[in-house]
Structure 1
Amino acid sequence: MSSSYAPHVGGVEEHVRQVARELQEAGCAVEVWSVDRGTGPVVRDVEGVTVRYLPTPLPSGSVGGIGRFLRALPGAWRHWTAARASFRPELLHVHCFGPNGAYALAMHRRFRLPLVVTSHGETVADDHAVFQRSAVLRTALRRALAAASAVTAPSAFVIDELRADYGLEGGDVVPNGVELGLVGDPAGSPFGGRYLLAVGRLGRVKGFDLLVAAMDGVDLDPDVRLVVVGDGPERERLEALAADRGLGDRVEFAGRLQPADVADAMAGAIAVVVPSRMEAFGIVALEAWRSGAPLVMTNRGGAPGFVRDGADAILVDPLDSEALRGAIERVARDGALRARLVAAGRERVPEFTWARVARAYLDRYDAVLPARVGGAGTEAAA
């Protein structure tokens, strides 16, 4: 039960896509139930997985908003109960708690379905600060965490935040994964010359504005430029920022690329820079390690829990422009440092496979449904 799914792209969508595939290969019957974000309440086959896009109206604080919710709720609930009747899941696994989580909690209560919750840092790393604005979601999350048979997150940072702010007791870390086969080839990079690379959704939390600002005054050869791969609501503002700083010839916005092209671009980069204001984990870090790119990584969020500063990456506070600029300059100038970071990253990345992620989830399903999942050797629905 995902807050978002294809055709939308992002860390959560990738995580759920890969886990669904691995669970199917492990013999589980799997469907993805996702929030309808414009598709309408439809059912589609996406890469061999049945995906149901379901309506998730929630009440707002206004009288009109409550009225609209009450009118929409009966129809929405019919779609959810129809999904349950069609697939008959034995377990519900929420990824990235939002309206999907509120409806999962309702399904748990109505049909006594075991509930697993995986937070991806949505309570602290959301551009729209929905948890700060929505008492409904805050309450639903607290109740879902209390009701869940298992709670996981990709980093201890997220688990600690759930404990401190939402009353979680327990909780486990299940790291993100990466496809090891997309190694990347520098000869195939879509970008020529010498460049730093940043990849991700162009939203405020990802901190690309901090990186663009750091490029203003960076002490590197003038032919070294920054290439930003991705798209999102901040793109026009970022382009304007680069223009205002006189960086039009030094910052390139390349838009969205296919995963294989991203891997090639990473392989050809001087370094991959992740300047997020807050990062629950950062799959981009794993992608950089896989492609043999030196990594400059934010220290805000979950990265210090799996990245070793000075060994497989350089950790830096992106809100400190001088520190960010200095980290970039250090990595760009020091070939021996880059080689050490690349070697260490390549050694670490096999620890983070999607098969391991799925196996960790199956272990938790085993504890909830011991007679049906994984070790029992029978088909499961999740």
Structure 2
Amino acid sequence: MTLQSPPLAVVVKGWPRLSETFIAQELVALEEAGLRFDIWSLRHPTDVKRHPLHDRLRARVRYLPEYLHDDPARVARARGIARALPGYPQAYAIWRADLRRDQSRNRIRRFGQACVLAAELPEGTRGLYSHFLHTPSSVARYAAIMRGLPWSYAAHAKDIWTSPDWEKREKLAGPHAAIFGATCTAYGARHLRDLAGDPAKVDLIYHGLDLSRFPPPPQRPLRAPGAPLHLLSVGRLVEKKGFDRLIAALALLPGDIDWYWTHIGGGELRAPLAAQAEAAGIAARIDWRGACDQPEVIAAMRAADLFVLPSRIAADGDRDGLPNVLMEAASQLLPVISTAVAAIPEFIDSGKQGLLAGDDPAELAQAIETLGRDPARAASMADAARARLLAEFTMQPGIDRLAARLRRMIATAPALAR
């Protein structure tokens, strides 16, 4: 017997990605809630490693041409099929209007990928759901218009704050807009609801944490006076993570604090940051571990004394939402130091669940010194952060709401027929 094709197509930028554990966590949970879908990825994986979570997903993963010249025959065949679809003229007109305002090769590639997606969607598809409001949602929107299907999206951070308002407004409230959208912070939800006009079209759904993926927190005896202070950060080496500020802060720490710092994550700023540390005379105290899988990250959190994530707003407006690594650190009773940027204060009330510093390296250095010299206070904050995680930021309530909205979307849509 042939299995019926899944009714939902999930469009992602790349699969799998070590830095997007929150997406893998959500999709695995949606499968466990009974939703069936295929994943359509705009890019092939670049990470060598995978999280164990990726291997739990049963969905079929399909890759669109990352660049249109990669598979010209496939693109040409799809374009021929797409042109015959009833919604193609509308999709083409909307894309041309977008192209006039964004004259980039990326915009052309999005439409080509949308043609392939529309042409290859299997019979029985009833709707599309895209992760990130920028590129993946453009592809999903164009393809949905061609096929006469509803679409929806999840918005996160960079896609909210670096996309032009005209594009967000049209995806949220214009012709052929999304049926609904989900976003993972109240900070982002306020912005999107203003653009959408109808607040009900934007649902606040925290990613939360699936605690079944994490061991119980370790027993953490108070660090002895004068013992080495092990700092840990997990995050891509990009401007919005603020690691240049952290290196500057580390160079300001008093000489009687015996610290060392471990960084986990890839990113294009590795060389300049390493050079900054060398110039500051602190390179020997730093362990650059690169990209790590989830078990390696958890092991590092259990071995560290303080977790530091100095998020900031980048020059292009990019910023974090509510980084899941803060909740992961809290799950392991690892005290947290971060910054009062974007949605981070939605989880950490400075002085209660951790310390939030400003963008000045001196403030960050002071926060590190404060908790480094007072292990009892740091432990108390870690207890409070884990209590808040358990009370307000577990995964399942958000998954239940998201699954219900996706079911309503595909229940009211006609199934795609050949």
TM-score of the pair, normalised by structure 1: 0.81
Task: List aligned pairs for 1:360-371, cutoff 5 A.
Answer: 360-369=401-410
Where does residue 37 of structure 2 map in the other structure?
30
- Structure-1 separation of matches of 2:112 and 2:368: 53
> Is residue 220–residue 329 contact of structure 1 (8 Å, CA) maintained in 2?
no
Where does residue 16 of structure 1 map in the other structure?
23
Q: Does residue 52 in structure 1 map to residue 62 in structure 2?
A: yes
Q: Does residue 169 in structure 1 map to residue 198 in structure 2?
A: yes
How far the C-alpha of 1:178 sits from its partner, in A, is 2.3
Where does residue 375 of structure 1 map in the other structure?
none
Q: Does residue 312 in structure 1 map to residue 353 in structure 2?
A: yes
In structure 2, which of residues 176, 185, 191 is the aligned counterpart of residue 155 of structure 1? 185
Structure 1 runs not aligned, ≥5 long? 133-137, 373-382
- Structure-1 separation of matches of 2:398 and 2:111: 36
How far the C-alpha of 1:193 sits from its partner, in A, is 5.2
Distance 1:63 1:331, change over 3 A: closer
- Aligned-pair RMSD on alpha carbons? 3.2
Q: Which moved more, 1:101-110 or 1:327-336?
A: 101-110
Residues 254-308 of structure 1: CA distance to partner in whole angstroms, max 9, x if unpaired?
Answer: 2122211211211221210111113211101111001110011221101112222
Task: List aligned pairs for 1:80-95, cutoff 5 A.
Answer: 80-86=117-123, 88-95=124-131
How far the C-alpha of 1:115 sits from its partner, in A, is 2.1
- Structure-2 separation of matches of 1:46 and 1:289: 24
Residues 63-113 of structure 1: CA distance to partner in whole angstroms, max 9, x if unpaired?
Answer: 9967x976x678634421233235x33222221122211121112322332
SS of alignment partner, residue 13 of structure 2: coil
SS of alignment partner, residue 209 of structure 2: coil
Distance 1:371 1:239, change over 3 A: same
> Is residue 245–residue 361 contact of structure 2 (8 Å, CA) maintained in 1?
yes
How far the C-alpha of 1:314 sits from its partner, in A, is 1.2
- Structure-1 separation of matches of 2:107 and 2:154: 26
- Structure-1 separation of matches of 2:325 and 2:110: 38
Where does residue 292 of structure 2 map in the other structure?
257
Distance 1:237 1:169, change over 3 A: farther
Where does residue 232 of structure 1 map in the other structure?
267
Letter of the 2:168 counterpart:
L
> Is residue 120–residue 153 contact of structure 1 (8 Å, CA) maintained in 2?
yes
Letter of the 2:296 counterpart:
D
- Structure-2 separation of matches of 1:175 and 1:335: 30
Letter of the 2:42 counterpart:
V
Distance 1:69 1:273, change over 3 A: closer
Task: List aligned pairs for 1:218-297, cutoff 5 A.
Answer: 218-219=253-254, 221-277=256-312, 278-297=319-338
- Structure-1 separation of matches of 2:136 and 2:383: 40
Letter of the 1:21 counterpart:
V
Residues 352-381 of structure 1: CA distance to partner in whole angstroms, max 9, x if unpaired?
Answer: 333333212013234435679xxxxxxxxx
SS of alignment partner, residue 195 of structure 1: strand
Residues 132-156 of structure 1: CA distance to partner in whole angstroms, max 9, x if unpaired?
Answer: 6xxxxx5443221112222221111
SS of alignment partner, residue 133 of structure 2: coil
Residues 316-366 of structure 1: CA distance to partner in whole angstroms, max 9, x if unpaired?
Answer: 22x122211111111111122111112112222234333333212013234
| Divergent runs of 4+, >6 A | 56-64, 184-187
Answer with 1 or 2: which has the greater Rg.
2
Where does residue 384 of structure 2 map in the other structure?
344
Task: List aligned pairs for 1:67-146, cutoff 5 A.
Answer: 76-86=113-123, 88-123=124-159, 129=162, 131=163, 139-146=166-173
SS of alignment partner, residue 311 of structure 2: coil
- Structure-1 separation of matches of 2:325 and 2:55: 27
SS of alignment partner, residue 28 of structure 1: coil
SS of alignment partner, residue 162 of structure 1: helix
Where does residue 178 of structure 1 map in the other structure?
209
- Structure-2 separation of matches of 1:216 and 1:240: 13
- Structure-1 separation of matches of 2:107 and 2:412: 39
Where does residue 73 of structure 2 map in the other structure?
none
> Is residue 102–residue 140 contact of structure 1 (8 Å, CA) maintained in 2?
no
> Is residue 185–residue 264 contact of structure 1 (8 Å, CA) maintained in 2?
no
Letter of the 1:34 counterpart:
S
Q: Does residue 302 in structure 1 map to residue 339 in structure 2?
A: no
Distance 1:234 1:2, change over 3 A: farther
